[in-house]
Amino acid sequence: MEFDPDASIEHGAPLPPYRQLAGILAARIGRGDWQPNRSIPSELRLVQEYGVARATVRRAVAVLVDQGVLFVVPQRGTFVKP
């Protein structure tokens, strides 16, 4: 499924918000908003930007880590995989 990198979360949509967010973040990475080996915005920033709960952001990031799009460095942040 293709996602618009400029989309917002549709809370009433059939696709869960964390899946929507994962798709949007992946689309933003694909567009070049965040470069390889550079961090993405913090959980708090993503919570504020997309109007979702912190748990939703964490689940979306976990999906992208599982897909090999992102990697996490403890106490440093979440980064785009090269």
Tell me the pLDDT band of 31, cut-offs 50, 70 and 90. Answer: very high
Joined together, the tokens standing for residue 61 give: 């990031």
At residue 1, the pLDDT reads 80
| pLDDT surpassing 90 at residue 43 | yes
pTM of the entire predicted model: 0.95
| pLDDT surpassing 90 at residue 39 | yes
Over residues 10-19, mean pLDDT: 96
Joined together, the tokens standing for residue 68 give: 């090999």
Count other C-beta atoms under 10 Å from residue 4's C-beta. Answer: 11
